[in-house]
Amino acid sequence: GAGVSQSPSNKVTEKGKDVELRCDPISGHTALYWYRQSLGQGLEFLIYFQGNSAPDKSGLPSDRFSAERTGGSVSTLTIQRTQQEDSAVYLCASSLRSGGYNEQFFGPGTRLTVL
Amino acid sequence: AQTVTQSQPEMSVQEAETVTLSCTYDTSESDYYLFWYKQPPSRQMILVIRQEAYKQQNATENRFSVNFQKAAKSFSLKISDSQLGDAAMYFCAYQPNAGKSTFGDGTTLTVKP
């Protein structure tokens, strides 16, 4: 009965480096979401996956951001050439499917600090 | 595009008192779902309560209840008998039948002992 897990929990990197953030959703959940949350702020939608459909990438802030979901399970969010404004908590959530009555189950987040 | 507005960035309540957090949304759909999520300090976001738009009866979960006014597109959360553990950031979310959710900017609730 594990929940959504994310790794690493904290990541400190230097400006210009690439980072990869991982999300393990709840088994059987077909929908997976990535959000960004700056300190004390709201959620900024980044991308979501629903089953085998093409992901909705409409929230990705720039082409430095990309995400993939392998085998309909684990997802990786990659940020290339990190900038200081990328510093935030990156949250992953999964649900049985997108929309409808289905609640989203959130992971603990990855706190990214770009120096 | 749907929008969700939480007009109260911060609210405070005395322990054991009642507080209401407001949320309004904009949509052209007639069938949708609304959620309140809670994000305690340094802890994971969890579901508090949800409401189907086609149901007229307001959802209730123990001390938490909603006032859903479909025509006014309003979905407020009432917390009765507030407890210290209710202190958190609360997010209102709109969810269509299929597709991604839209979240409000959140309301930070402080509970005073």
- Tell me the mean pLDDT per 10 residues along chain A, length 115: 91 98 95 92 92 92 95 93 97 93 96 97
Q: In what order do the strands lie in the sheet with A19-24?
A: A5-7, A19-24, A75-79, A65-69
Task: Please report, rounded to a whole number, the percentage of residues in chain B having pLDDT higher than 90.
Answer: 90
Query: Confidence class of residue B1 from pLDDT cuts 50, 70 and 90?
Result: low
Alpha-carbon distance of B7 to B21, in angstroms, equals 9
Return all residues near B51 (Cβ < 8 A) that are at least 6 apart.
Answer: B33, B34, B35, B58, B59, B66, B68, B75
Q: What is the dihedral of CA A32, B105, B35, B27, to 10 degrees?
A: -90
The residues that bridge with A75 in the sheet, in sequence order, are: A23, A69
Q: Per-residue pLDDT averaged across B36-54, rounded?
A: 94
Cβ contacts from A onto B, under 8 A: 57
| List of chain A residues whose C-beta atoms are within 8 Å of the C-beta of residue B103 | 42-43, 45
What is the Cα–Cα distance from A52 to B11, expressed in whole angstroms?
42
CA A89 to chain centroid: 9
Strands (E), A1-115: 5-7, 10-13, 19-24, 31-37, 43-50, 65-69, 75-79, 88-95, 105-106, 110-114
Q: Which of A43, A103, A108 sits opposite B44 (nearest CB)?
A: A108
Q: Taking CA B48 as the corner, what is the angle to CA B26 and CA B7, rounded to the nearest 5 degrees?
A: 40
Taking CB atoms and an 8 Å cutoff, what residues of chain A touch B47? 103-104
- The answer to whether the CB atoms of A43 and B35 lie below 8 A apart is no
The Cα A92–Cα A36 span in angstroms is 9
Q: Between chains, do A42 and B98 touch, taking CB under 8 Å as contact?
A: no
- In chain A, residues with a C-beta closer than 8 Å to the C-beta of B102 are 45
In this predicted structure, what is the pLDDT of residue A52? 87
